[in-house]
Amino acid sequence: MTALSKARPGRVVAWTLLFLGGIVMVTPILFMFSTSLKDSSQVFDLRLVPAEPTLDNYRTILEDGRFLRWFLNSLFIAVLATVSNVFFDGLVGYTLAKFRFPGRRLVFLAILSTLMIPTEMLVIPWYLMASRFGWLDSYWGIVFPGLMTAFGTFLMRQFFETVPDDFLEAARIDGLNEFTIWWKVAMPLVTPALSALAIFTFLGNWTAFIWPLIVSTRAEMFTLPVGLSSFSVEQSVAWEMIMTGAAIATLPTLLVFLVLQRFIVRGVMLAGLKG
């Protein structure tokens, strides 16, 4: 409050505008939740706070069973991709930052150059690969293209370069093998970067659409975004059901954010500046 009372009028205006802008930013999200709490007869009533809030839509959707399955599919895939990225991107980033060996520059440039290849160019060959090896409609088929990323590798390499060699040498003198040194000594030193990588990978896989859409044919294997898209087409006008589905897809990331806000914002800043 003191900050506000001391402020010049210009600052008060700026603050008010920022606040109003912020409200506009979250309105679609609020509207989505509010509509999900209305029954079909109240949808046309555009009040933000429903006159008679009901959880019926959520009940209907969860009883349908498909959403639960899609939710778990998405969760499993996002966790798997995150674990794999933290492990491999960390390992490769570390190797490229801390080892001197023939071919190092080549490997680094090769991995970096894949940043320039758009996913859209690869989906056709990936699809052919997946159908040739019978990976269509499988978790592996959805997750395999994203097990490692050049972005993550680059990010981790940047961070490992700031880790002093002395730490690692000390561990070598203690007789630890290289794998243990990386896992037990080096990795804990870059936890902020690892968490940034984890947040990005999880979010990216949780919201991914085009590849899961292409590779999954059976409803049991849909991820949440793919399921939501086909569910919404199927519902056509039942906006309250569509909003409920959308809310279910959005809720987990929002909840996680509310709990870990500072952490996530710092992670995004780190990744954005170094990546």
- Which positions from 68 through 97 interact with other proteins, judged by CB under 8 A? 88, 91-92, 94-95
Q: How far, in Å, are 67, 79, 125, 202 from residue 138 at the CA level? A: 17, 15, 17, 19
3-state secondary structure (DSSP) of residue 100: coil
CA proximity to 200, closest of 71, 118, 107, 81: 81
Q: Is 196 in the site for other proteins (CB under 8 A)?
A: no
Figure out which of the listed residues 120, 164, 166, 188 binds other proteins, where binding follows CB under 8 A: 120
Q: Is 114 in the site for other proteins (CB under 8 A)?
A: yes
Min CB(52)–other proteins separation in Å: 18
Min CB(126)–other proteins separation in Å: 6
Q: Residue 20, exposed/middle/buried by CB under 10 A (0-12, 13-18, 19+)?
A: exposed
**Residues in 228-267 that interact with other proteins by CB under 8 A:** 228-230, 232-234, 236-237, 239, 242-243, 245-247, 249-250, 253-254, 257, 261-262, 265
Q: Is 44 in the site for other proteins (CB under 8 A)?
A: yes
CA proximity to 239, closest of 46, 64, 23: 46
Figure out which of the listed residues 62, 80, 147, 189 binds other proteins, where binding follows CB under 8 A: 147
Q: Is 148 in the site for other proteins (CB under 8 A)?
A: yes
Q: Is 211 in the site for other proteins (CB under 8 A)?
A: no
CB 173 within 8 Å of CB 109: no
Residues 63-96 as b/e (b if ≥16 CB within 10 A, e otherwise) read eeebbebbbebbbebbbbbbebbbebbbbbbbbb
Q: Is 122 in the site for other proteins (CB under 8 A)?
A: yes
Residues in binding contact with other proteins, number by CB under 8 A: 102
Q: Is 28 in the site for other proteins (CB under 8 A)?
A: yes
